[in-house]
Structure 1
Amino acid sequence: MAKKKGGLESCLFQWAYQNRKAGTKAAGILKSIEETEKILENVKLKKTR
């Protein structure tokens, strides 16, 4: 039983680590998308003026 618990625990730690790693990547991607949208909006405003 202890072996099962250790395996489950290591799986949970691995999942949490991967989730955190993916979360930072996703946050960076979302930030760059927001910045791109702002730039495109500014360009659009300049063209209409």
Structure 2
Amino acid sequence: MSKLVKGGMAKKVVDEARKPQNQRKIKDAISSFTDKGKGKGSGTKPR
């Protein structure tokens, strides 16, 4: 891809990420992803 196309795509992504409704979606997606990575329990080993 040309640099011009890549630059245009990057600008579009940044512009969309700045919108408040999209910020909420991004935060929810990140939260969901990090919760899945933690798995079950409190994360400490049983004694």
Whether TM exceeds 0.5 here: the answer is: no
Q: TM-score range by the shorter chain?
A: 0.3 to 0.5
Normalised by the length of structure 2, the TM-score is 0.45
| Larger-gyration structure (1/2) | 1
Which structure has more helix as a fraction of its residues? 1
Normalised by the length of structure 1, the TM-score is 0.43
